[in-house]
Amino acid sequence: MSTKENDMKNKKKVFYKDKGFGTIVVFILLIIVFSVISDAFLTVNNVMTILLQNSALVIMAMGMTFVIITGGIDLSVGGNMALCTICSSMLVRQYNLPIIAGVLICLVIGGMVGFCNGFCITSLGIPPLLATIGMDSVARGLAYIICGGATISNMPDSFKILGRGYIFGVIPIAAVIATAVVIIYVIIQNHTAFSVNTYAIGGNEQAAYLSGIKTKSHLRKIYVLMGVTCGLAAYINASRLGVGLAAVGSDMSFDAVTATVLGGTSIAGGSGKVQRAVIGALIIGVIFNGLTILNVQSFEQQVAKGLILILSIGVDTVRNRKEI
């Protein structure tokens, strides 16, 4: 059939107009620039460090992409991470629990926080932005209350394996886990009805409802999934730090949203791709790693971060406007 041929032509013709393309160019340019400026940048060691440092963010960006595709947002992931971290690390230390139990605790707590988000958004009708900001404060507050503000240290060695271990002595376990999560998400995205329904809700919620999608229960699932991914990210992060801290993830909501939007997912909902959020997350990672190597202070890094978010959302908005 001739439509097949058209397909091919269309794809070839417009690949450079593809939303993800600009991001990839930026990513490659950054790598080139930093490797020219500093010899320390493009070394096996440093690349692995970047991957390790950003595994939690990559995982987080997966869940965030789905949330943003529905037209929502989750700004509670920072607080959620703190709560997961504290609960898990305290229980693990107290009862000397194995790795799998520590991870499960995080997943369950994260999922529960996600469920509360979903409940507030769908059943109470609170806008996602406000519901999750509120939840962020609640979760972090709970984390501080539970640990009494103390650092949970003296963790058993097993707790640190996922975050600090290496396969063959070079590849961080955390990066392998993150890769697996990305693959799972890509498969869900490309091959399930769940994903099509997610895009549909973000594109036109009323039409989705009329097409027989149970929009409310679907949205709840999306936030629970976000919470669960957040739990996993929390465990990996805590394991890398080797201690449980109620202050973790204060920038996480910000970073995850930035990574997602950098990857071309429109904040208006209805479009986006998880694999591109990976590039988004790595761009953030590369910039900080590069700036740190170049001895740029963290205050300046803060400014850079804000500018990146504004820029990427700005580009997204302009692009949306053009397409009308």
Shortest Cβ 74–other proteins spacing (Å): 21
Cβ-based nearer residue to other proteins, 11 or 43: 11
Quote the radius of gyration of the chain (alpha carbons, Å). Answer: 20
Q: Is 319 in the site for other proteins (CB under 8 A)?
A: no
Q: Give dist(CA 319, CA 129) in Å, integer.
A: 23
Closest of 162, 114, 161, 158 to residue 139, by C-alpha: 114
Q: Is 208 in the site for other proteins (CB under 8 A)?
A: yes
Shortest Cβ 140–other proteins spacing (Å): 34
For other proteins, which residue of 44, 168, 212, 322 counts as binding (CB under 8 A)?
Answer: 212
Site string for other proteins, 173-192 (x = CB under 8 A): ------------------xx
Q: Is 6 in the site for other proteins (CB under 8 A)?
A: yes
Q: Give dist(CA 216, CA 247) in Å, integer.
A: 33
Neighbours of 26 (CB within 10 A): 18
For other proteins, which residue of 28, 29, 161, 210 counts as binding (CB under 8 A)?
Answer: 210
- Two structure tokens written together for 216: 């409310």
- Nearest 10 degrees: CA dihedral of 136, 138, 142, 148? 80
Shortest Cβ 104–other proteins spacing (Å): 23
Which residues ranging from 258 to 297 are in contact with other proteins (CB under 8 A)?
270-271
Shortest Cβ 16–other proteins spacing (Å): 13
User: Which segment (9-17, 38-46, 112-120, 160-168) binds other proteins by CB under 8 A?
Assistant: 9-17
Shortest Cβ 265–other proteins spacing (Å): 12
Which amino acid, residue 135?
M
Shortest Cβ 117–other proteins spacing (Å): 22
Cβ-based nearer residue to other proteins, 266 or 312: 266
Q: Give dist(CA 227, CA 219) in Å, integer.
A: 12
DSSP state of 269: S
Closest of 58, 17, 36 to residue 229, by C-alpha: 58
Q: Is 109 in the site for other proteins (CB under 8 A)?
A: no
Length in residues, the chain: 324
Q: Which DSSP string corresponds to 275-318? A: HHHHHHHHHHHHHHHHHHHTT--HHHHHHHHHHHHHHHHHHHHH
Q: Is 43 in the site for other proteins (CB under 8 A)?
A: no
Residues that bind other proteins (CB under 8 A): 1, 3, 6-7, 9-10, 13-14, 191-194, 196-197, 199-200, 203-204, 206-214, 270-271
